[in-house]
């Protein structure tokens, strides 16, 4: 029997409706409007598209939203000064600097300049450290989206064998740390695999839940998974063009073959992607609440 498709589009829409109601209450009862600034340096088409989608979603939810378009030759100190300006702006609760940044800018210095209480992307060392010890304020958006997909679709993580393929600071490491915590929607036994893993299939075949963020199209094939597995495919790979001139996308797993063995699987597109932006909005609302001391 073919797998049930986990729709990130549908799950994200449900969460956004909940957030819209929450924002309305914050405005009416507390005079509080969540504020988000997105800073984009240069004109990378993928980054521009992503930031535009973030801004559109923020406005739909009723946020106070600012987009800073910065020239690609901006000096590093000037960019950090912009971050510092928004650190001090009480109307802004979330600051997001879109990556990647130009080569002449040290990404770590810029991200570390963000006030951890406004770090709605969840990448500041303070927030990563708090995640590690199970006391996170803000979780990185894509891993949080993955966890929410599992929770909202009733997929049991407690005691589950979870295998994560990929060890990036953006997805692999944080989702592993989140799912290993002794907490609701977690409490799993987690294995992290990567490019130096020997016999990858030996590990992936054990997975009750397989999370793949390898960055390679169809890296996981049907013979590498067991029957009844839940597959979360984080990859987005361009593999050609459609006759209409649109990019043809595929994930890091062989979707068509694996869906015949899996119990649950995310599609690409329409799986993890829509959740990432929604989790950014969720973090921003949380930051606004914390700033106003509204529990």
Active site positions, annotated? 54, 98, 121
Q: How far apart are CA 107 and CA 105, in angstroms?
A: 6
- Axis-axis angle for helices 125-132, 172-180 (nearest 10): 40
Number of H helices, E strands in the chain: 10, 11
Helix (H) or strand (E) holding 245: none
Q: Is 239 helix (H, G, I), strand (E, B) or coil?
A: strand
Phi, psi of 201, rounded to the nearest 5 degrees: -60, -30
Q: How far apart are CA 130 and CA 206, in angstroms?
A: 30
Tally of CA atoms within 13 A in the half-sphere of 55 that contains its CB: 17
Q: How far apart are CA 199 and CA 163, in angstroms?
A: 13
């Amino acid at each position: 029997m073919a797998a049930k498709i986990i729709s990130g589009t549908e799950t994200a829409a449900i969460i956004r409706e909940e957030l819209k109601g929450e924002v309305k209450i914050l405005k009416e009862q507390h005079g509080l409007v969540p504020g988000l600034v997105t800073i984009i340096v240069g004109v990378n088409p993928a980054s521009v598209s992503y930031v535009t989608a973030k801004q559109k979603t923020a406005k739909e939810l009723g946020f106070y939203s600012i987009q800073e378009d910065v020239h690609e030759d901006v000096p590093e100190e000037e960019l950090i000064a912009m971050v510092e300006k928004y650190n001090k702006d009480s109307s802004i609760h979330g600051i997001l600097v879109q990556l990647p940044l130009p080569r002449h800018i040290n990404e770590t210095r810029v991200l570390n300049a963000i006030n951890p209480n406004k770090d709605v992307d969840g990448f500041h060392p303070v927030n990563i450290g708090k995640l590690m010890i199970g006391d996170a304020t803000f979780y990185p958006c894509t891993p949080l989206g993955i966890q929410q997909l599992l929770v909202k679709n009733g997929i049991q993580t407690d005691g589950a064998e979870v295998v994560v393929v990929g060890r990036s600071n953006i997805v692999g490491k944080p989702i592993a740390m989140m799912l290993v915590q002794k907490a609701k929607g977690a409490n799993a036994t987690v294995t992290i695999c990567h490019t130096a893993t020997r016999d990858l299939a030996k590990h992936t075949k054990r997975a009750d839940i397989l999370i793949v963020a390898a960055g390679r199209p169809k890296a996981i094939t049907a013979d590498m998974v067991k029957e009844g597995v839940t597959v979360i495919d984080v990859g987005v790979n361009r593999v050609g063009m459609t006759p209409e001139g649109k990019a043809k996308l595929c994930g890091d797993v062989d979707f068509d073959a694996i869906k015949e063995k899996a119990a649950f699987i995310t599609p690409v597109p329409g799986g993890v992607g829509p959740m990432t932006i929604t989790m950014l909005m969720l973090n921003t609302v949380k930051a606004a609440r914390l700033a106003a001391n509204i529990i």
